[in-house]
Amino acid sequence: MTERRTLYPEIQPYDSGMLDVGEGHQLYWERSGTPGAKPAVFLHGGPGGGISPNHRRQFDPAKYDVLLFDQRGAGNSTPHANLDANTTWHLVDDIERLREMCGVEKWMVFGGSWGSTLSLAYAQTHPDRVTELVLRGIFLFGQSELDWLYRYGASELYPDGWDEFLAPVPQEERGDLVGAYRRLLTSDDHQVQLRAAKAWSKWEGVTVTLLPDEEMLAEFTEDQHAIAVARIENHYMLHRGWLEEGQLLEGAKKLRGIPGVIVQGRHDCCTPPRAAWELKRAWPEVELNIVPDGGHLYNEPGVLDGLIRATDKFAGN
């Protein structure tokens, strides 16, 4: 068996700053790698997850010039966990502002989980600005995907975690969990909001790894991280990503001619492989790599191997 690829060595950004995108939002951004090398943009998950130092390490620093940024309300962007003027289409516009700031005509777009959704929305809106797509853990905002996470599906595999997810919600409100959580996460009572945020974020944490990871769950339920992820993610789930049913599959025809790689864990319980398979059917040119021992997270060995092989593949293009 070929040895699996791992992260490139630790690297510090060569530049960083804040970009005012209007409507009260300031985005934190950073650039890593070699100035003037192959341009790429990294789109984090969540929504609301933010970037981390290891995200920079999925690209050969000698061959890439990568822009990473915290989306509206996430990470070091301000105002923290804010829901105003925070939609998929605001973020698509933000990516264009960042591209113009970087002074590049086109770039590779790399995104996992919610980042795959945003990558597809951006690429279908601005196909002439995308050289390649590298995607992980496809999420298309279909009703079946929402039901899997918040009605039935994942709860069958993790009944213990599901009971913890239900706990903050009164019995009479459990017919619409996303709506019930919206009320809790926008409560004027900070403790109510925090309890709900931790439960929401922990439920996601339970579903994203093939094997339990206590360190990752602790990170997911840290106060500031949980508040941002839960509030913003719930906001997007409530509004179905501001996407019509099937919109990203229908729009896949706009991706014809754009090279792409999808890395999908076979045992991904957060974004099951069905969506990746449907996207492959709608976009036959894309290379679909289903990792037989992979879950959802980018740093699981087989998934990471696939992602780094994909960025290496496109490094010289």
Half-sphere exposure of 136 (CA within 13 A, CB side): 31
10 Å CB burial of residue 25 (0-12, 13-18, 19+) is buried
> How far apart are alpha carbons 98 and 101 in whole angstroms?
5
| The one catalytic residue among 60, 65, 213, 268 | 268
> With contact defined as beta carbons under 8 Å apart, do 56 and 66 qualify?
yes
Which candidate, 168, 219, 163, places its Cα nearest to that of 189? 168
| The one catalytic residue among 25, 55, 94, 113 | 113
Q: Which residues pair with 20 in a beta bridge?
A: 26
| DSSP secondary structure of 83-136 | -TT-SHHHHHHHHHHHHHHHT-S-EEEEEETHHHHHHHHHHHH-GGGEEEEEEE
Range 170-198 burial, b when 16+ CB lie within 10 A, else e:
eeeeeeebbebbbebbeeeeeeebbbbbb
CA dihedral (252, 48, 69, 64) positive or negative: negative
Which runs of E-coded beta strand occur in 62-184? 64-69, 107-112, 130-136
Q: Quick check: is 268 catalytic?
A: yes
Q: Quick check: is 312 catalytic?
A: no
- Three-class secondary structure of residue 65 per DSSP: strand
Q: Quick check: is 116 catalytic?
A: no
- Helical (H) or strand (E) element with 29: strand 25-33
Which candidate, 234, 198, 195, places its Cα nearest to that of 219? 198
**What is the phi/psi pair of residue 208, to 5°?**
-95, -10
| The one catalytic residue among 65, 94, 296, 305 | 296
- Three-class secondary structure of residue 22 per DSSP: strand
Active site residues: 113, 268, 296
